[in-house]
Chain A
Amino acid sequence: MNLKISAAVYQKELLEIFRDRRTMISMVVVPLAAIPLLFMLISKFMSSREEQAKGEAVTVGVLGEDKVPTVLKALKAAGFQPMPTADLRAAVEKKEVAASVEETADASGETHISIYIDKTRQASEIAGDKIQTALDKLKMDTVRASLRGSGVAEKILTPFDLKSVNVASEKKMSGLVFGSALGYVVILLMFTGAMYPAIDMTAGEKERRTLEAVLASPAGRNEIVLGKIGATATAAFITALLTLASMAYSFRFSPQAESTQEALHMAPPDMGSLAMVLITVLPTAIVAASLMVAIAICAKSYKEGQSYLTPIVMLAAFPAVVGMLPGLELTPALALIPIFNVCQLVKEIFLGEFSRVAYAVAFVANLAYAAIGYLVAARIFKSESVLFRV
């Protein structure tokens, strides 16, 4: 193995990568521009939804103020505005009101209250919760009033006080959300970042007919492939780096950082975790690079390369999505699954509780996949039927 040759190929590929517009867009522009934009949109969306929810929450549909004699006062006291409507269900469905309340009495004279809400709407859910609380209070007050004359102690109503305490720190809470999303985004962008360079330096060189001269030089095939995979992995890694940097920026340092944190109900990620994530994704950058180079060599043109690799990007997203599911823990056996293991580790790093064994297993496994990918790519690169497929 003559590493000087690989280094020469690596240098030349990087030069080409940095002068290729398509690559620069997927590698630099997308992470730098898309991430802050995404956050901005999310926080705008969330805050406008909350405002909307607050505004909408005050209206509650009733068949008529006189049709809800028992609860009318309590609803008004809780800040609700009763709105007479003929169809309680439809009014909620059509978003005319946040929720509806219906009061009926059965033959025995017992009162039944129904609250209509649309659980797919945040505003409706909030209103429903508030109505529930208001009516619970009304219920208690009514019971208390009846007890007062009977001589039974009021204390009987509350034999014990009940509350639930969330032991997760704010860091952990945000870690769960942030970690799950980040693993997915980084993997996806890393594969996209590797895609264009991988195609450009394989199928692209075949199409532009520049590969033949390289093949006729004394450079060994293994060395050439190593240089190409190295350059592609570098592109993938730069994408990951820029994605993380731009996340850190929009979360911590940008003028909108605070409003973003507030809107997403999340504390900013700490720099140590971000650095740790970078180290974790490094072997995956090499896996992505060797896989994509190996496949793109088989394509005869840039276009064909694109149609080969686009499904690979989607395929890579699949274990990443599974990794976003809550409740999955990274056991040493699961740590063998590529991409999935990285997503889990990223999540666990942000939760501050990853297992060292799982981390080591995942790291070594990913390096092994990278090595296998390289060997496969080098083998394909020696096949003349692949290189001269026309």
Chain B
Amino acid sequence: MIRVENLAKSFEDKKRGAVQALEHVSFEVKPREIFGLLGPNGAGKTTCLRLLATILKPTSGTAEVGGADIVRSPEAVRRQIGFLSGDMGYYARLTPREVLTFFGKLNGLEGAGLRQRIDEMEATFEFGEFANTKIDKLSTGMKQKVAIARTVLHDPPILILDEPSSGLDVPTARLIENFMLRARESGKCILFSTHVMEEAEYLCDRIGVVHQGKLKALGTMDELRAQTGKQRLREIFLTLLDMVELVDKSEGARK
């Protein structure tokens, strides 16, 4: 469903000159799979996801998302994805229903079909009376539900989630986790980024470790353990990042 080939992106920065945010990254994500991009801040995760969501254009390389090329037919790509980022804002002055109506229309839904879909979302996420309350007045959890509902409203086969649980408390983050697991069950292809090890370990079928714009390793947890000789994802991660001095030397012994 997602096939990334030699994807690279560099930015022009006034102070630093050309900055290579992503260097020749390749990986694949299949339907009914959760693929996690793991990396420290500034590793290039967000850039990678934005490239796949066609918000940014690659400097070189390309990717296919749902059979459409991100460079040649970005609009066809965007029709098949649900995109959510953890630091996204809310339309505070609108109600959940108005936001869903807006995004539904942007995704080509209209009329009775749109209304029915919004009703379904409101039932699934238990908006109840809050459906017509301005988002400003909603709790963080409720806001998060609106964001998720907005992402899956048009039933996209592919979900691209950029640190979806960043800044959320445990119960609210759990909303996101459950949502991802349910989406996988229903056959969706899910690509997400995180720097929370636990979350990655719990959710991911496969993991790609990104550091300084490069893909350092790729595989299932077991494959990564075999590759590094470490058990916990935290230690695997630090080993892959060549931050050997930070790796817990006693890890194996403690196990």
Contacts and interface: CB of A to CB of B under 8 A. Distances in A.
B81 interface: yes
Nearest to A17: B93
B127 to A, nearest CB: 18
B110 interface: yes
Nearest to A19: B93
Contacts of B134: 19
A20 B92 CA distance: 10
Nearest to B81: A216
Contacts of B55: 212, 215-216, 384, 387-388
Nearest to B147: A213
Nearest to A13: B102
Contacts of A217: 78, 83, 103, 106-107
B232 interface: no
Nearest to B54: A216
Interface stretch (A4-12, A56-64, A304-312): A4-12
Nearest to B83: A216
B75 A220 contact: yes
Contact of A5 (B89, B105, B160): B105
A385 interface: yes
Question: Which DSSP category, helix, strand, loop or mixed, fits chain A's interface?
Answer: helix
Interface in A178-233: 208-210, 212-220
B3 interface: no
A210 B136 CA distance: 14
- Give the interface size class of chain A: 20 to 34
Interface in A21-74: none
A208 B54 contact: no
Contact of B56 (A7, A210, A213, A388): A388
Contacts of B107: 217-218
Given A20-B93, A216-B78, A384-B55, A12 B102 contact: yes
B75 A218 contact: yes
A93 interface: no
A209 B89 contact: yes
A218 B75 CA distance: 5
B6 to A, nearest CB: 20
A217 B94 CA distance: 18
Nearest to A219: B106
Contacts, number: 75
B207 interface: no
Contact of A213 (B75, B88, B98): B88
Contacts of B79: 218
B93 A15 contact: yes
A212 to B, nearest CB: 6
B193 interface: no
B75 A385 contact: no
B18 to A, nearest CB: 13
- Considering residues A4, A8, A217, A384, which has the most beta carbons from chain B within 10 angstroms of its beta carbon? A217
Interface in B149-180: 150, 160
Nearest to A223: B106
A20 B91 CA distance: 12
A19 to B, nearest CB: 4
A4 B105 contact: yes
A12 B108 contact: no
B22 to A, nearest CB: 14
A218 B90 contact: no
B28 interface: no
Contacts of A214: 106
A380 to B, nearest CB: 16
Contacts of A118: none
Contacts of B90: 208, 210
A179 B81 CA distance: 55
B129 interface: no
A16 interface: yes
Nearest to B56: A384
Interface in B98-120: 98, 102-103, 105-108, 110
Nearest to A217: B106
B51 to A, nearest CB: 10
Nearest to A2: B108
Contacts of A219: 106
A214 to B, nearest CB: 7
A218 to B, nearest CB: 4
B12 interface: yes
B91 A16 contact: yes
B88 A12 contact: no
B106 A384 contact: no
Contacts of B89: 208-210
Contacts of A385: 11-12
A112 to B, nearest CB: 76
A212 B98 contact: no
The 8 closest A-B pairs by CB, nearest first: A8-B105, A216-B83, A209-B89, A208-B89, A217-B106, A19-B93, A219-B106, A216-B53
5 contacts: A8-B102, A16-B93, A19-B93, A209-B89, A216-B54
Given A19-B94, A216-B81, A388-B56, 18 more contacts: A7-B105, A8-B105, A16-B93, A19-B93, A208-B89, A208-B92, A212-B55, A213-B83, A213-B84, A215-B55, A216-B53, A216-B54, A216-B78, A217-B78, A217-B103, A218-B75, A220-B75, A387-B55
